[in-house]
Structure 1
Amino acid sequence: MSDDVFAWSAVAEVRKYFANTVQAMIAHVGREPLGHEIEDLVARGRFAPDEVHVEPGNLLTTAGLGRITSLLEGNGGAVFNNAQAIIGVGYHGGTSTNDAAVTDTALAGNGSTTTAYYQGADSGYPTQTGGTLTVNSTFGINNGNFGWFEWCLGIATGTLTPGGTLASVGTSPIMLNHKIASLGTKASGAIWTLAATCTIS
């Protein structure tokens, strides 16, 4: 009989809407569309992403594992719900060659909105079914405009305030996981959605 093994797997899908598509969306909606509005437009066939990048893998951090086990044991801690879920993307010095480490507590680009950007989840996210957690966050035309070489999920309490440092986003934030990979360079005027799925098995 084999021993039970805890397995964590994650996939990021970056859905990219370039400036011309965004301008058409703005003309259709009357303003910059929100994440759930973009999903609806795509679902109805009005628009489609200009490019989709899928990146498998993501390292669960020590802090992330600690939070999961604390909640399982009933010891409390902030939960990953819409009011407290964070997605962050970072520049990481313009390289994806270094590995993430379980001891990481923030993105390597942490410190400025020109090298990192953390914000909350879109309306209606996260969702959970069959051991798979799904969370989307849509980065608007003025946010996260740099090379994306890393991404993470996080949790914080209080009112989430988008920013360039994890410490400034909310109260007692922690980074749950970390992935270093080249996801592309977001330009001003574009809208990108990072859709992450994480499965525990």
Structure 2
Amino acid sequence: MKKFKFTKIVSFALAMFMAFSVFTVNVSAASRGDAYKRELTAEEIATIKTVFDAKYYGSVYLDVVHFYGYDYYTPAIDDILFAHFINCGIWEERQPSAAFNVDVYASRNTDLQPQLGDNIIGYYMYYATHLKEQSWRVVPTLNDAWAKQATIYSVYDFQVGQVGPKAGAVAVQTPDSPAFKIDEK
């Protein structure tokens, strides 16, 4: 009986520790973008909307669709998803479409890093307003980065006036990531 009680207490303690750890990490990750959050201008919103794909966003981020209580096929869902992206998703570094990942774009376009640093909106604006230039730039998707075995950092790890990430930055994706090992088989 004592062994059973001891096991229950230890199990409960470990469960509480894990729950607290996971909650703390998630809150920390979400709050990182909050430091950069600001009101966007009407021009910025209109420009960013050109790279947003509601069907993609809704299919990848089902948590958003379920949170708002909408069926994926509700007619107003496109506007609701875009509003979520502009107010939350963009700052959380969620992908607006299959064709664009801001972390990949910032990491692989080193010529933009000194100019834009950690300005996430700046990367979106540059991408959307320099479409002719995009033909010679790298493909800004995680799949292409995996295929090229590129090391990817968070856009928030860059600094104006500097090429490359800040000291101590931890890569989001490296050539040692599991996806690369799957591709090698």
Which structure is larger by alpha-carbon Rg, 1 or 2?
A: 2
Range class of TM-score, shorter chain? under 0.3
Query: Which structure is higher in strand share?
Result: 1
Q: TM-score, normalised by structure 1?
A: 0.26
Query: Which structure is higher in helix share?
Result: 2
Higher relative contact order (CA 8 A, sep 6+): 1
Q: TM-score, normalised by structure 2?
A: 0.27
